[in-house]
Amino acid sequence: MRYGIFSDIHSNIEAFTVAIDYYKKEKIDTFIFLGDIIGYGANPKEAISLLRALNPICIAGNHDWGVIDKLSADCFNEYAREAIIWTKAQLLQESDYLRKFPLTYQSENFLCCHGSLNSPKDFNYIRGINDARENFESLKTRILFVGHSHRSQIYYKNINGIFFHPEASIYIKADEKYIINVGSIGQPRDRDSRLSLCVYDSGKGTVSIRRLKYDVQLAAEKITMAGLPQILASRLFVGY
């Protein structure tokens, strides 16, 4: 089975369209979306439409919850809060789609959530070894797929301890557990402006993070023209 696992689109259809075109060539059997289809970017309705067309398994992100009032606006910084208020005004029946997203999804060998397995509704981050350790303690499957931090990262645990894996691909071993952050399609924050997505091949036992270029200039111009905070446009160029 080949899974296309991706996260944090944030209304960026320029990036999302490139990701979809890439996945079409990869013969994906099942798509899994790890949350935050909206927020920050200028095309929330179009992003939701593209997502629905993939018929993916969907997980709720904190921005998704913010737009449907399941998470207080006070939980967001001023720029994110302004984008959520703007996004609410753009969405009508599309909001009903977001309400259907659960907080987690579990398959036989892997589990998915937006931020952290420990209290998924709090949308905590996994940003280092200590955060990974707490999640490994709760993980009952072999692999945990997450997004939220907008940074593609791989951690693994074996009898010798917990380690950060610096490469973009990894082979899944029977005696190890893994936390895979698939990064962000719509707003990367690891000093790389290219979109990030993941392909998991359960048959071959491989997980690969892929980085792809997209039209950052157009996505940024749309944010500016929509009257959204300028920082949401400028950060796309630097990937932070």
Going from N- to C-terminal start, the domains of the chain cover 2-238
- For the cut 90, the answer to whether the pLDDT of residue 140 exceeds it is yes
Please determine, for residue 129, whether its predicted confidence score (pLDDT) is greater than 90.
yes
**Residue 51 confidence (pLDDT) above 90:** yes
- Mean pLDDT calculated for residue range 99-113: 96
Taking the C-alpha atoms of residue 37 and residue 12, their distance in angstroms, rounded to an integer, is 9
Return the sign of the alpha-carbon dihedral for residues 195, 8, 122, 207.
negative
The matching CATH number, chosen from 3.40.228.10, 3.60.21.10, 2.60.40.10, 3.20.20.70, for 2-238 is 3.60.21.10
pLDDT at 73: 86
> Does the pLDDT of residue 94 top 90, yes or no?
no
CB 48 within 8 A of CB 33: no
CA dihedral 8, 39, 133, 240 (to 10 degrees): 80
Q: In sequence order, what are the residues at sequence separation of 6 or more whose Cβ sits closer than 8 angstroms to the Cβ of residue 76? A: 62, 63, 66, 84
| 91-95, 125-129, 206-210, 215-219: the lowest-pLDDT one | 91-95
Would the pLDDT of 203 be above 90?
yes
Query: Which positions ≥6 away from 166 have C-beta within 8 Å?
Result: none
Percentage of residues in the chain with pLDDT exceeding 70? 100
The model carries a pTM of 0.97
pLDDT, tens digit, 9 for 90 and up, residues 24-40: 999 999 999 999 999 99
Identify the CA nearest to 152 among candidates 185, 129, 122, 130.
185
Give the pLDDT score at 2: 98
Mean pLDDT, the chain, integer: 97
- Rounded to an integer, the average pLDDT of 165-187 is 97
CB 172 within 8 A of CB 143: yes
- Residue 135: per-residue pLDDT: 97
